[in-house]
Amino acid sequence: MHHEEGSDQQGYTTETIPVEGVVGLSVTKYQRLGEATARSAFITVEGADIRYWASMDAGVALEPTLLEGHLVRDGGGIPLDSFNQIRRFRALRVEPGTTKLQVEYYR
């Protein structure tokens, strides 16, 4: 689990995202009425490897490619430790198969 026992952050919602093309996280889950509600998130990759970025360049979220981005293997986990990382997160499946991201948000 991403958050250590005794952490002051509480999980408040989850989502499952199929990875077909480049995907981001659902704004309706991490932000409400323009306020940053999620302080962190933890993502588990299921099905096939992905590449991801959680950065921006010239005000635009970077999109991973088949050759660029952090590589995460099936079963791997991705901690996102800030609201900015959450809103900038983009993932791409890099091998054949069905891939899902299991996401839990914390505040």
The per-residue pLDDT for range 60-86, each reduced to its tens digit, is: 889 999 999 999 999 999 999 999 999
Domain assignment present for 1: no
Residue 8: inside a domain: no
Q: Does residue 48 contact residue 4 with C-beta atoms inside 8 Å?
A: no
User: Looking at the predicted structure, is the pLDDT value of residue 32 above 90?
Assistant: no
Q: Is residue 38 part of a domain?
A: yes
Question: Which of 31-35, 48-52, 87-91 has the weakest average pLDDT?
Answer: 31-35
Q: What is the mean pLDDT of the chain?
A: 90
Let me know if residue 4 belongs to a domain.
no
The pLDDT value recorded for residue 36 is 60
30 domain-assigned: yes
CB-based contacts of 76, cutoff 8 Å, min separation 6:
44, 45
pLDDT of residue 55 exceeding 50, the answer is yes
* Phi, psi dihedral angles at 86 (to 5 degrees): -60, -50
Residue 90 lies in a domain: yes
- The whole model's pTM is what? 0.88
Q: How many domains does the chain have?
A: 1
Domain residue limits at 43: 17-106
Per-residue pLDDT, 57: 85
Q: Please compute the mean of the pLDDT values over residues 4-29 and round it to a whole number.
A: 86
